[in-house]
Homo-oligomer: A and B are copies of this chain.
Amino acid sequence: MTKISITEVVDSLTAPWQPRDLATANDAVVRIARFHGAFPWHHHDEDELFLCWNGTFRIELRDREPVTLGPGDIFVVPRGVEHRPVATEPAHGIMIERPETQQYGN
């Protein structure tokens, strides 16, 4: 039962695409990562929620228009949908996943 500061964790993240767990509540794991460049295409067997904390990134989706997120924007990638986050400039994204969610997909 301790408080977690997102801004402190953000300051400690230097490499992109290395998620850090912030907290777990029930079966929801809240993670944050620095986004920079293009992450490989993948899909999950679970839904994945993205919340843009700062900067701007887009979620590219197979056969759909990409979705660009700025600070405070949320987008949920439904389970099974192939996607990849892309950030032209460094940004930070919060993800809400399940404990079994694999970073590089299923």
Q: A74 and B26: CB pair below 8 A? A: no
Binding site for B on A (CB under 8 A): 1-7, 22-28, 30, 46-49, 51, 53, 61, 64, 67, 69, 71-78, 81, 96-98
Q: List 25 A-B contacts (CB under 8 A).
A: A1-B61, A1-B64, A1-B77, A1-B78, A1-B81, A3-B69, A4-B73, A4-B74, A4-B75, A5-B73, A6-B72, A6-B73, A23-B76, A25-B28, A25-B46, A25-B49, A25-B96, A25-B97, A26-B27, A26-B46, A26-B97, A27-B28, A28-B96, A30-B49, A53-B72
Q: Main SS of the interface on chain A? A: strand
Complex Cα–Cα for A48 and B27 (A) = 11
